[in-house]
Chains A and B, each alone.
Chain A
Amino acid sequence: MLERGALRYTPAGLPVIDFRFEHRSEQAEAGVMRRVECEMACVALGANAHLLADSKPGDGMRISGFLAARSLKSRSPVLHVTTIEFLEGNPNGFQT
């Protein structure tokens, strides 16, 4: 996790948290392994939002979810987090 906003609530009372995530991994591409890095805007709702509200920038985790446009106006994708796995004892946050 790079940075995160404060826990907020939808009008119906559901917790939401917006955060940025830095991804690092190694992937195969045309038969060759390579290193991959990127940054991604993420959002988590409900129980996941509470989980993330307790974490801090620098914490490592493995997340997955689905992509959706930020809004009608801005079509760049935001990762909506559906599963979170905290990577303990791995302070660099490297995923293997």
Chain B
Amino acid sequence: MTIVRVALDIPLSRCFDYLAPEASATDVGRLVRVPFGRGEKTGVIVAVPGHSEQSPDKLKPVVAIERTLPALPPDWLALGEFCARYYQHPLGAVLNFALPPLLRRGRLPRQKKEKPRSGTPPAVRPALLAEQQAAVDAISGATGFMPFLLHGVTGSGKTEVYLHAIEAALARGRQALMLVPEIALTPQLEGRVAGRFPGTRIVAAHSGVADAARARGFLDALEGCADIVLGTRLSIFVPLPRLGLIVVDEEHDASFKQQDGLRYSARDVAVFRAKQHDIPVVLGSATPSLESYCHARNGRYTLLSLTRRAVAEAMPAVRCIDTRREKLQDGMSAALLAALELRLQRGEQSLVFLNRRGYAPVLACSACGWISNCRRCTAHRVVHLADRRMRCHHCGDEAAIPRACPDCGNQDIHPFGRGTQRIEAALQDRFPAARVLRIDRDSASSPRKWQALLEQIHAGDADILVGTQMLAKGHDFPRLTLVGAVGADAALFAADFRAPERLFAQLMQVGGRSGRAELPGEVLIQTEHPGHPLYAALAGHDYHHFAIAQLAEREQAGFPPYAFQALLRAEAREVAWSLEFLSAARALAQPLAGEEVMLYDPVPMRMVRLMSLERAQLLVESRSRPALQTFLAAWCNALATLKASRRLRWHLDVDPLEL
């Protein structure tokens, strides 16, 4: 009697054996329907072992093996096994996550042969600059596994390099996989890729694609008839038998790391997958993550540099505005307002960047000290004046703005601080003739609205944009010549050791929106620390200087990338329970840790309450990744035996991005 080993999506790290009379080794990688508990579940056959550790009379037979679909290839299963091992997540859960939702539920998309796209001639291909050509040559010339870090200043034409490299891969009869941070933010990219490669089958893989289309794209890729897969982090799990190139655009972006369930970093998995397929992988950014940059400096990655802008003459001029002795008007300095006025006169666009949406971050009563705290989180509810509501940006809890202070009855309560809505109102007040357009997650709440806003900007129907980081990446607005950053200082002294890296990247990216075409650009940063080295590096467009200084600090402090971390987080109704669980977990860890693994103490998280749960964390660190991995595997086994209260939830985050 043949036995199949099935990975099921349940929170246990083991697989389950079933009887399958007519199964053979060719069924490994097939979906299978099996009885489980009182119902049925769909899983993936990961092995056809000769015998089971359980006695055969205890094994149940499978319901059905799905044979109309090709089996998932061994390298796909190996990728899942790697992720399960590395991120300490059950294999069944990993494979389940890697499958599109429709297949997960054991259903198949209706057969619909994709019409071959009409063979319109390729869009005009801009001529490559020498640096771009050199980068393309290096990538296309690579044989076997080779990671590249493509560091290109904003507007240097990184996308063009990707497209040429993809073209070369397609010409060799291979498939290409391109990962982007958030596809909703760059709707034009899909069109650009499609326009460049007519007659090829391009699959979009992201959460915005309908279930049936996603499943069909997945199967097309699996069968090898898709040529290019373009998607967000989840597309790293699309099976590609002829895979020849992986591109990760904006590789520094935090959205490549999933923050729940399988907490993987698609960028890191991309490098593993390239190694597995023995192919080149390109990580591109104007501000590479320090992890990748460190690899480039020590020679593990090949650094490719684009130092010149493709269209514009020069990088925008970056200048700090010292706001220490100035009385700001609605948070804006006279110099910034004058610069905005100048752009209005010239008929050019400006962007005021403030990474805080809403009208004001807090509503407060100056008579008694009441503030608009969230009822469920350690956070304030943010004033949204446009719809007269206050809203927690962490849990979504919201209420109408109270007419009077709930504590003392004072009606004259005030919004404190500044968000995009307030800047928008102030600018509209000051420049009544200007068309002020606010762009944040409130004004661009759906892809359609976002698209409409983008079209409005491109059509020149906006003079001053007020926006959050939504506008920071990937956009080309030819008439935009001024970027003013307001309230950037807040991130300068944040507790997270990655805060400077993020702030630098954010300002560099948003500043890069200015002066991308023929018109010269200017970036003004309002700050009370005009001499800060971070701003000096920004003004000099000197990523290398900044990155080397940051790496030196990290090395001295023993932070990543010079150390490897994992974080055990626990959440319960009371923080004491969370801390108690973590203390028990720490006690289990002590005999396993050895000399190379350092255990910190359990501490409450900086934002203790979220959605009425109180959270604590325990940091584990090692200078050696293998030592940490060995420890984590043993620790996870031990943790499974730990009797935690039903009302306590915990998870392990390997290579956490936020501490």
- The reply to whether A10 and B411 contact each other, CB–CB distance below 8 Å, is yes
- The reply to whether A10 and B367 contact each other, CB–CB distance below 8 Å, is no
**Sampled A-B contacts (18; CB under 8 Å):** A10-B403, A10-B411, A10-B413, A11-B363, A11-B383, A11-B401, A11-B413, A12-B388, A12-B401, A12-B402, A12-B403, A12-B404, A12-B411, A13-B388, A14-B411, A69-B367, A70-B366, A71-B366
Q: State the Cβ distance, A76 to closest chain B Cβ, in Å.
A: 13
Q: In chain A, residues 2-42, which have Cβ atoms closer than 8 Å to a Cβ of chain B?
A: 10-14, 16
Q: Which residues of B contact A72 (CB under 8 A)?
A: 366-369
- List 8 A-B pairs, minimum CB-CB distance, nearest first: A71-B366, A12-B403, A11-B401, A12-B401, A72-B369, A11-B415, A45-B411, A16-B412
Q: In chain B, residues 387-435, which have Cβ atoms closer than 8 Å to a Cβ of chain A?
A: 388, 401-404, 410-415
Q: Which residues of B contact A84 (CB under 8 A)?
A: none
Q: Which residues of A contact B411 (CB under 8 A)?
A: 10, 12, 14, 45-46
- The reply to whether B412 and A45 contact each other, CB–CB distance below 8 Å, is yes
Q: Which residues of B contact A (CB under 8 A)?
A: 359, 363, 366-369, 383, 385, 388, 401-404, 410-415
Q: State the Cβ distance, B372 to closest chain A Cβ, in Å.
A: 10
* A68 contacts the other chain (CB 8 A): yes
Q: Which residues of B contact A71 (CB under 8 A)?
A: 366-367
Q: Which residues of A contact B359 (CB under 8 A)?
A: 11
Nearest residue, chain B, Cβ from A69: B367
Nearest residue, chain A, Cβ from B366: A71
Q: State the Cβ distance, B593 to closest chain A Cβ, in Å.
A: 49
* A1 contacts the other chain (CB 8 A): no
Q: In chain A, residues 61-82, which have Cβ atoms closer than 8 Å to a Cβ of chain B?
A: 68-72
For chain A, give the interface size range: 10 to 19
State A70–B402 Cα separation when bound (angstroms). 20
Nearest residue, chain A, Cβ from B383: A11
- The reply to whether B367 and A68 contact each other, CB–CB distance below 8 Å, is yes
Nearest residue, chain A, Cβ from B360: A11
State A69–B366 Cα separation when bound (angstroms). 10
Q: Which residues of A contact B414 (CB under 8 A)?
A: 10-11
State A72–B407 Cα separation when bound (angstroms). 14
- The reply to whether B412 and A10 contact each other, CB–CB distance below 8 Å, is yes
Q: Which residues of B contact A70 (CB under 8 A)?
A: 366
Q: State the Cβ distance, B213 to closest chain A Cβ, in Å.
A: 44
Nearest residue, chain A, Cβ from B402: A12
Q: State the Cβ distance, A42 to closest chain B Cβ, in Å.
A: 12
Nearest residue, chain B, Cβ from A72: B369
- The reply to whether A11 and B412 contact each other, CB–CB distance below 8 Å, is no
* A52 contacts the other chain (CB 8 A): no
* A43 contacts the other chain (CB 8 A): yes
Q: Which residues of B contact A14 (CB under 8 A)?
A: 403, 411
Q: Which residues of A contact B367 (CB under 8 A)?
A: 68-69, 71-72
A11's partner among B366, B369, B388 (CB-CB below 8 A) is: B388
Nearest residue, chain B, Cβ from A14: B411
Q: Which residues of B contact A45 (CB under 8 A)?
A: 411-412
Q: Which residues of A contact B368 (CB under 8 A)?
A: 72
Nearest residue, chain B, Cβ from A71: B366
State A12–B363 Cα separation when bound (angstroms). 11
Beyond A11-B414, A45-B411, 5 extra complex contacts between A and B, CB < 8 Å: A10-B411, A10-B412, A11-B388, A12-B401, A70-B366
Q: Which among A11, A14, A43, A45 has the highest number of chain B CB atoms within 10 Å?
A: A11
Q: Which residues of B contact A43 (CB under 8 A)?
A: 412
State A69–B415 Cα separation when bound (angstroms). 19
Nearest residue, chain B, Cβ from A68: B367
